[in-house]
Structure 1
Amino acid sequence: MGKNLAFSVLLVFAFAKAYSQQQVIDTTRTTELEAVVLTATRTARQLSSLPLPVTLVPKKQIIQSGTIRLNEILSEQTGIITIPDESGFEGVQIQGIASDYVLILIDGVPLVGRSAGNFDLSRLTVGNIKQIEVVKGPSSSLYGSEALGGVINIITEKPKGEILNGNISYRIGRFTQQDINIDIKQRIKKLRYALFANRFSSEGYDLNPDAAGQTVNPFENYTLNGRVFYDLTDKLELFSSVRFYDQTQESGFVVDETAFEGDTEEQEWNAHLRLNHKWNDKLNAEYEMYYTNYSASERLASPVSDEVLSDSDFDQRLLRPEVRFNYAFAKAKTGWNKGTLTTGIGLQYDELDRTFFDNKVSFNSQYIYTQYDANVLERLNMIVGARFDNHSEYSNQLSPKLALRYKINDAIAVKGSVGYGFKAPDFRQLYFDFTNTAVGYTVLGYNVAVDKLAALQAQGQILDVVVSENELGNPLEAESSVGYNLGMTYNKGKWNTELNLFRNDFKNLIDTRIIARKTNGQNVFSYVNFDEIYTTGFEVNAGYKVNKNLRVNAGYQLLYAFDKANEKRVENGDVFARDLQTNQTVVVDRSDYFGLVNRSRHNANLKIFYDIPNLKINLNLRMLYRSKYAQFDTNGNGLIDTYDTSFIDGYVTTNVAASKTFYKDFNLQIGANNLLDYTDQNIPTLPGIQGYIRLNYNF
């Protein structure tokens, strides 16, 4: 790691040297337009004026970085960590909060397809994205369940020019990774349309040649997206979008010297229709209808014996109509400045048909939310809101939120927020019925546990039941959290700096527990509310614009994430571990308790973007550091301590890209991700250096 860090520092000096040798005289000064964010309040707000912690990734940064999938660009942002699960899918962690609790949106509507809680961010291409907005902390006051930890909203581009325009790009990289984009946009009087197509494929790679099969198998996927905007009248605008995603990936396993082969197939459909209605200068409304369907199937069989190892299907559908109103108040005599009242009402129908369920299952919920956003004083902005959810499978939820921002002077502002978030028990936690045929254990959803356990007893498979039926009688509660954020911003001249302290307290987290022991020596598991955890720390972002051509950004996050019950066990001296150096059993003390799995204490990034205008060249360097973390408990004492052996040592990854525009409309980009060639068999998403070359044509 020391050599990698030293080489990264040399790269930084190389950029500085290139800058010192480049003499560009430009007396013109350009004023950058203020970034506008939609997700935090559901209305257009300037990023710098928001009282909430928000990260915005603009299109320019995405293009210059050379990233092509959502997981790649998010992993370079402060306080946002991408974590692969056991399937290799990369989910996102925000303020130490797992992917299960982060809502993923595209143009303001949710995406589905979480087979095990994790959302695979690599499903999403960034080829036609205008910007990515990340709201950190509980956002259930506007978005309901799954927004307990935050919201990621992908905003696609809106056509502007009246002449047909767009771009075509082709990128090829290591492992024969190919990415092809075609994006066409045009405005014809009252009609605007955009057509986008993407093909992404790879031959995969193998980090462990001694093991059978590849770490990542070959795959190819396609994304098609068509969007139409039509001005029906001066006060009515229609927006419609249809998106299709399709992926096929080879699969293969070896079990007891028997090879199994097959394919995994995924498909996703999204249909989005919205009517924007401007009633008058103060009132506007949005009438929205959204439908999405995600399906996945996998079949693995032996080509020799026709023995089937896996044959599973997953088919989820969601329908959501919603109506929103925004009313802008005039300035009152009391001194309250013009504010905006946002109110929405909707219902959601969610349905899942899955191999490991007895029947197709469904949820339905109705919700209403309201929010008031106003400058209560000349320098004080306040956002207060709440949402009420009525769900078919768990108790009603009221999710309030309050956020304040006080502008001390033109350069400094302080802000703080407190909010409540919740996550409903998902289909898997309620209806799962799965038995691992190779090992013999069983996992049962909470709502079916009593009946399924009785059936196993009748079949003579149960040795003893360790949980009473009464304990399984009460319904699962929704997981919930209260999140606090307190921060300060400094924006003056060439500096742009933000500090944010956060704390998230969770209760009623759902996890598995043993409810019975089987005669084969294995266990029967089900789900229960019991965990109480918290994540706390701070993050800081600093940007310095050396001049018009050179920008430097740096970020750092300090994170502590602990289970409260385990803290008490450690304090009481009830946790033991074996010291591998002395081979003695020792009591785990507080300094030995590391925290939750997959959480690093320190995360940092350094990004340098350098333009050479007269040569039409952009150079950039992005360095990412992640300190050590543990993947699972290895000594069986129920927590992560310094005596566990699953720790991944801290490491640095360095990404570079250089692009050159020529003949006005052509752009050639050469880059490398993970330039220092860091690999670890325990991190399937880091296969070493990944060089690439990309050619883009704008028309």
Structure 2
Amino acid sequence: MIKKYIFTILISSFAWSQKKDSIAKNDKGIDEIVISGTLKPVIRSETTVPVEIYTTNFLRKNPTSNLFEALQNINGVRPQLNCNICNTGDIHINGLEGPYTMVTIDGMPIVSALSTVYGLSGIPNALIDRIEVIKGPASTLYGSEAVGGLINIITKSPQNTPLLSADFFTTSWLENNLDLGYKFQVGKKTQSLLGLNYFNYNSPKDNNHDGFTDVTLQERISVFNKWNVIRKSSKTLTLAGRFFYEDRWGGQMQWNKSYRGGTAIYGESIYTKRQEIIAKYSLPFKENINFAFSFTNHEQNSVYGHVFYLANQRISFNQLTWNKVFSNQDLLIGLAHRYQYYNDNTPATRDAERLQIGSIFLQNEIALNSKHKLMLAYRLDYNNNHGWIQTPRVAYRFKWNSNNSIRINSGTGFRVVNLFTEEHAALTGSREIKISENLKPEKSINANVNFMKKIRFEDYSLLSLETSVWYTYFYNQILPDYDSNPNSILYQNLKGYATTKGINLNLDYVSSFGLKAIVGTTYMESYKMENRIKTRPILTEKWSANWTLSYDIPSWYISLDYTGNAYSPMRLPLLSQLDPRSPNSPWWSIQNIQLSYKKWEGFEIYGGIKNLLNWTPNKNTPFLIARANDPFDQNIQYDSNGNVLATPNNPYALTFDPSYVYAPNQGRRGFFGIRYKI
């Protein structure tokens, strides 16, 4: 009987996927239209800049409530938690820290500075149509912060969404997430998409028995509205807005809001409020001239124990581009202006910062012939604090047939630093922040080679192979120095250089019998050289792997998804020479499985298990949070130089600090969800 069922499954799966239209489906990820690499729509296989695409179908293989968690299964991209208590984090690309990654929405740089720390978890998957990822500097087109890479979130269009959609899931930890979408028409020429995301987790757990919450408790709501006006000229006119509010806290298990800002019970409580506006307008001229605008207002009300952090950031961005195609050349010329206001209550910010950056950029793609394409690009920025900054770039693509291509890219990047919006350790724990000089902008030089190959099989299966080799050289780099003095974090421009280099490999396979696989691995070496001393950066792994394996059984209306990642050891920040914790993390892996049932049109039931191995970073570690029993450092003794003394009550000479973190502290849990659309 079992053999009969197995035979039936294989035969039905094979017949279902043998249809010739499966070729088009298999090619879709390779030949989709991308925008991020050149700031204009272009077929992915034709662009000189390698761009990776991840659709909502990919994100659904491992359902999450926000973008930050969803990126964990992309090769070379790692969401990094920076605090064991409040669970804020950033996104690393190819080993570079979060501040080197620019996150844009529809090409607009509205997720930056303050929001790279506090706003990433507030981007719901419900508004995402696809994600485009560039690994390596994109500063020529996107300016500061796009040094390590770019993540561009393309939001859904009202034209391509269902009338009504709903997605709800819950977990055995009582995490609840709801996504709602509704499309409506206003008149004959205006379409609108209204989206809502609500997330709630209000069940404190302390499975590692340190007296602190293992995972931050959160309640957040995000409302998204996008308008699309249909014009006679078919030119673009879109307007989108989003409101986001989040209330999160972590700390000692007995904490509640009556203790906020006091010294009786330790808690980290963060209120975040954001408003965003994005607009795009194609001017009514024969020429292809486009204007884009974005504005964000980010308000932060946070408290870390008894330390308040009150901040406000406003960013406006304007960009005008002209795209002209003539003969064998595709020319793009742009003007951009960015204004950023930032103010907080920390001693480091005496006066509100008002930053203005004016930019001009040029890009020309030259089709030498059907196989060879060359791109030359140049950007000139004027920063009112740092003067003129240049970022040139050159790219070359050789496509010897429809299945094989190679891309060579080289360019520069720059980044203007705002420490207190990037380094969470500056606010939590008891380390003192020290800045020894006027910090100069960081600059980098990068080169990478990308090879892509498609292998088509007679049974309509398709294997896509993509590999990249990269090298990045930094000067004026600013890295937090945790080592010189365990009780402080020292910031200064590197008196030397830093490099990161490596290779990654992506395999994307779609079979003729229902199996789909996306497997990636990255190996890299990162270090800084200063005073002839070579040092490996904190929280940088040498090797990582990600995988997504899916199997469809159409006759049973079932899909099975197995996702996961694995990471090699990374160096961790210790507080003293007596600190008993390991200076390096172990090998670790997070794996998930999901089963989906799709018998009824527009209706889907799914469920599974997250973190199958029940792995958490507290295993084989004496503690994660240093001095969890004394979070206000009331029983610390110091010597005459301000160094912590080892005492019977403090044998390891530690202060309270939650920065020894490299992975989620959430164990195995089940989840169940329902999707519905009309």
Which TM-score bucket, shorter chain as reference? 0.7 to 0.9
Post-superposition CA distance 1:664-699 (Å, at most 9, x none): 121101122211211122455241113211111111
Supply the distance in 1 between the matched residues of 2:395 and 2:132 (Cα, whole angstroms).
18
1:569 to 514, 518, 533: 533
* Mapping for residues 18-33 of structure 1, pairs under 5 Å: 20=10, 23-26=13-16, 27-30=18-21, 31-32=24-25, 33=28
Q: Match of 2:152?
A: 153
C-alpha change, 1:673 and 1:442, in structure 2 (3 Å) is closer
- Aligned AA (1:502): W
* Mapping for residues 491-510 of structure 1, pairs under 5 Å: 491-493=454-456, 494-510=462-478
Supply the distance in 1 between the matched residues of 2:54 and 2:345 (Cα, whole angstroms).
38
C-alpha change, 1:484 and 1:278, in structure 2 (3 Å) is farther
Supply the distance in 2 between the matched residues of 1:626 and 1:525 (Cα, whole angstroms).
28
Post-superposition CA distance 1:223-243 (Å, at most 9, x none): 001010112432543211110
Report the TM-score, using the length of structure 2 for normalisation.
0.82
Q: Does the 8 Å CA contact 1:635/1:644 hold for their aligned counterparts?
A: no
Supply the distance in 2 between the matched residues of 1:18 and 1:363 (Cα, whole angstroms).
66
User: Secondary structure of the residue that 2:314 maps to in structure 1?
Assistant: strand
* Mapping for residues 181-580 of structure 1, pairs under 5 Å: 181-186=179-184, 189-203=188-202, 205-206=204-205, 209-234=208-233, 236-253=235-252, 258-260=264-266, 263-277=269-283, 279-280=285-286, 283-299=287-303, 309-329=306-326, 331=327, 337=328, 339-356=329-346, 357-426=349-418, 428=420, 442-443=432-433, 472=437, 475-493=438-456, 494-511=462-479, 527-530=492-495, 532-547=497-512, 549-565=514-530, 568-569=532-533
User: Secondary structure of the residue that 1:28 maps to in structure 2?
Assistant: coil
Q: Match of 1:44?
A: 41
User: Secondary structure of the residue that 2:274 maps to in structure 1?
Assistant: strand
Q: Does the 8 Å CA contact 2:371/2:400 hold for their aligned counterparts?
A: yes
Q: Does the 8 Å CA contact 2:304/2:427 hold for their aligned counterparts?
A: no
More strand by share: 1
Q: Structure 1: 5+ residue runs without aligned partners?
A: 1-15, 302-308, 332-336, 447-471, 571-592, 638-642
Supply the distance in 1 between the matched residues of 2:599 and 2:312 (Cα, whole angstroms).
47
Supply the distance in 2 between the matched residues of 1:179 and 1:669 (Cα, whole angstroms).
14
- Aligned AA (1:629): M
- Aligned AA (1:326): N
Q: Match of 1:626?
A: 567
User: Secondary structure of the residue that 2:387 maps to in structure 1?
Assistant: coil
The sequence identity of aligned pairs, in percent, is 19
C-alpha change, 1:321 and 1:113, in structure 2 (3 Å) is closer
Q: Does the 8 Å CA contact 2:207/2:214 hold for their aligned counterparts?
A: yes
Supply the distance in 2 between the matched residues of 1:401 and 1:239 (Cα, whole angstroms).
30
User: Secondary structure of the residue that 2:342 maps to in structure 1?
Assistant: strand
CA apart distance, 1:286: 1.2
User: Secondary structure of the residue that 1:223 maps to in structure 2?
Assistant: strand
C-alpha change, 1:22 and 1:634, in structure 2 (3 Å) is farther
Q: Does the 8 Å CA contact 2:331/2:362 hold for their aligned counterparts?
A: yes
Q: Match of 2:646?
A: none
Q: Match of 1:579?
A: none
- Aligned AA (2:61): Q
User: Secondary structure of the residue that 1:65 maps to in structure 2?
Assistant: coil
Post-superposition CA distance 1:339-389 (Å, at most 9, x none): 321111121110111011222221111111111123112201222111110
Q: Match of 2:592?
A: 655
Supply the distance in 1 between the matched residues of 2:70 and 2:421 (Cα, whole angstroms).
31
CA apart distance, 1:442: 4.8
How many pairs are equivalent?
A: 606
Report the TM-score, using the length of structure 1 for normalisation.
0.80
Supply the distance in 2 between the matched residues of 1:251 and 1:644 (Cα, whole angstroms).
22
User: Secondary structure of the residue that 1:362 maps to in structure 2?
Assistant: strand
Q: Does the 8 Å CA contact 1:541/1:556 hold for their aligned counterparts?
A: yes
Supply the distance in 1 between the matched residues of 2:672 and 2:183 (Cα, whole angstroms).
25
Q: Does 1:599 align with 2:590?
A: no
- Aligned AA (1:342): L
Bigger mean CA offset, 547-556 vs 108-117: 108-117
CA apart distance, 1:79: 0.9
- Aligned AA (1:692): F
Supply the distance in 1 between the matched residues of 2:423 and 2:584 (Cα, whole angstroms).
34
Aligned CA-pair RMSD: 3.3
CA apart distance, 1:552: 1.8
C-alpha change, 1:485 and 1:430, in structure 2 (3 Å) is closer
User: Secondary structure of the residue that 2:158 maps to in structure 1?
Assistant: coil
Q: Match of 1:691?
A: 670
C-alpha change, 1:299 and 1:636, in structure 2 (3 Å) is closer
Post-superposition CA distance 1:303-338 (Å, at most 9, x none): xxxxxx122201100111221111111x3xxxxx3x
User: Secondary structure of the residue that 1:564 maps to in structure 2?
Assistant: strand
User: Secondary structure of the residue that 1:141 maps to in structure 2?
Assistant: helix
1:57 to 39, 54, 68: 54
Supply the distance in 1 between the matched residues of 2:551 and 2:480 (Cα, whole angstroms).
50
Q: Match of 1:78?
A: 75
CA apart distance, 1:64: 3.5
Supply the distance in 2 between the matched residues of 1:39 and 1:629 (Cα, whole angstroms).
31
2:550 to 609, 628, 644: 609
Post-superposition CA distance 1:11-53 (Å, at most 9, x none): xxxxx99975865424521123431111111111222233323
C-alpha change, 1:204 and 1:143, in structure 2 (3 Å) is farther
Supply the distance in 1 between the matched residues of 2:296 and 2:285 (Cα, whole angstroms).
30
Q: Does the 8 Å CA contact 1:291/1:319 hold for their aligned counterparts?
A: yes
* Mapping for residues 116-155 of structure 1, pairs under 5 Å: 118=117, 121-155=120-154
Supply the distance in 2 between the matched residues of 1:430 and 1:668 (Cα, whole angstroms).
39
